[in-house]
């Protein structure tokens, strides 16, 4: 009978996500992973098979968290405000140092294209899902389907640029002013004022 794997798998994977997110796939050695996950080599291979399989699981988890964040934000706020908040704060907002790590999905496409195209494509498919979430939010805000699709594609280009740029910014840097400008264009395109604008109009 095989010996039970005695560790909290979900916590170990969460630690691996952080390491891959911060250092990338190639720079995260097996020794690094074992140390941060707090497990032995035999338990690692029994639970995850190999580093590549674990990395795919981490990409999937990161994508689900990102999509869950978007869904919750769009349920709590007007959709365009929610999308703007996503761009300003990312997956972990405030002063969390992880803002400086960019996006694991975008990082993977950049790192693995031409090195492991299957991994790059896997991350790219998750980015397509995020872009589709942008489109759904814009449609919910009143954009016609074709316009929502075009704006979502534009926002994904902005997203990729913002996440790359964040890796050379300080962890406490304010959101780029360009984000506010982009969302003014989005609101103008679909005739959707910000909640701040509405508040000001009511006050006057």
Per-residue pLDDT of 124-180, as tens digits, reads 999 999 999 999 999 999 999 999 999 999 999 999 998 888 887 555 555 667 899
User: What pLDDT sits at residue 33?
Assistant: 98
Inter-residue contact 107 to 55 (CB < 8 Å): no
- The pTM (predicted TM-score) of the whole model is 0.86
Q: Give DSSP secondary structure letters for 120-158.
A: HHHHHHHHHHHHHHHHHHHHHTT--HHHHHHHHHHHHHH
User: What pLDDT sits at residue 96?
Assistant: 63
Which one, of 38, 49, 40, lies nearest residue 15 by Cα? Answer: 38
Please compute the mean of the pLDDT values over residues 80-89 and round it to a whole number: 89
Inter-residue contact 16 to 38 (CB < 8 Å): no
In sequence order, which residues have a C-beta less than 8 Å from that of residue 53 and are 6 or more positions away? Answer: none
pLDDT tens digits along 28-83 = 999 999 999 999 999 999 999 999 999 999 999 999 999 999 999 989 899 999 99
């Amino acid at each position: 009978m095989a010996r039970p794997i005695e560790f909290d798998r979900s916590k170990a994977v969460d630690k691996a996500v952080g390491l891959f997110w911060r250092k990338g796939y190639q720079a995260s050695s097996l020794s690094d992973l074992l140390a941060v996950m707090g497990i032995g080599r035999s338990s690692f291979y029994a639970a995850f098979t190999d580093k590549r399989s674990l990395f795919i699981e981490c990409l999937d988890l990161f994508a689900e968290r990102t999509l869950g964040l978007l869904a919750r934000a769009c349920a709590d706020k007007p959709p365009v405000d929610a999308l703007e908040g996503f761009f300003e704060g990312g997956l972990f907002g405030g002063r969390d140092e992880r803002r400086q790590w960019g996006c694991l999905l975008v990082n993977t496409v950049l790192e693995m294209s031409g090195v492991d195209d299957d991994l790059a494509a896997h991350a790219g498919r998750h980015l397509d899902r995020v872009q589709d979430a942008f489109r759904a939010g814009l449609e919910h805000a009143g954009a016609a389907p074709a316009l929502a699709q075009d704006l979502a594609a534009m926002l994904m280009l902005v997203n990729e640029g913002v996440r790359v740029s964040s890796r050379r910014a300080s962890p406490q840097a304010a959101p780029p002013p360009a984000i506010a400008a982009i969302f003014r264009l989005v609101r103008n395109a679909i005739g959707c004022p910000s909640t701040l604008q509405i508040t000001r109009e009511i006050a006057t």
